[in-house]
Amino acid sequence: MPYILCVYYSRTGNTEKLMREIAAELKCEIVKLDDGVDRSGLGGWLRSGMQAMARRIPAVKPVKTAFPLDVYDLVIIGSPVWAGRCSAPVRSFLSQYGESLRKTAYVITRSSDVRYEEVFDQMDMYVRAPRVSAVTIRPNTVGATFWRDEFLTSIRDGGKEKADNAG
């Protein structure tokens, strides 16, 4: 079995729920990113949106994992979409650690019909090699479970672009 790590940021729980489901299915380690920034309420929403638009890289606290990040065969990174971009804490994680990750796959959650697949390309800019798989999911919609399962299948198959799609 390959060593897989799930890393994510979640402000209101959507990405967290999905990443927990994915980690449970893959029976792998899961870690939540923390940048110590208060992102609650309207102020937090505005701050988060502005940081994402400005491509800010706030420091994230050191990520505590069982092994050094370059030991994992695959790191699955989960982020909410913020202002059409990946969330600031995930951008920070990628900027700090992206080069040391051997293989990556992405899970993004969003609230609109727009798929935001360009976010995958933005995330790829920080890593050594392009993603092996990615999925964009709108939580609590009919397609969400289907696309989550397609993503899991692609990961189990060794990460083909099959799940690079929308829910």
Ligand X SMILES: Cc1cc2nc3c(=O)[nH]c(=O)nc-3n(C[C@H](O)[C@H](O)[C@H](O)COP(=O)(O)O)c2cc1C
Spatial CB neighbours of 120, under 8 Å, sequence gap ≥ 6? 106, 108, 131, 134, 136, 164
Task: Figure out which of the listed residues 20, 29, 37, 45 binds ligand X, where binding follows CB under 6 A.
Answer: 45
Applying CB under 6 A, which of residues 23, 69, 81, 134 lies at the interface with ligand X?
A: 81
Could you tell me which residues come within 8 angstroms of residue 133 by beta carbon, excluding any fewer than 6 positions away? 105, 106, 151, 154, 155, 159, 160, 161, 162, 163, 164
* Contact flag: residue 14 with ligand X (CB under 6 A): yes
109 in contact with ligand X (CB under 6 A): yes
For 29, phi then psi, to 5°, come to -70, 150
Which of 11, 32, 102, 162 touches ligand X by CB under 6 A? 11
Which of 48, 104, 136, 165 touches ligand X by CB under 6 A?
A: 48
* Smallest gap from residue 44 Cβ to ligand X (A): 8
Binding stretches for ligand X (CB under 6 A): 10-16, 45, 48-49, 80-84, 109-112, 114, 139
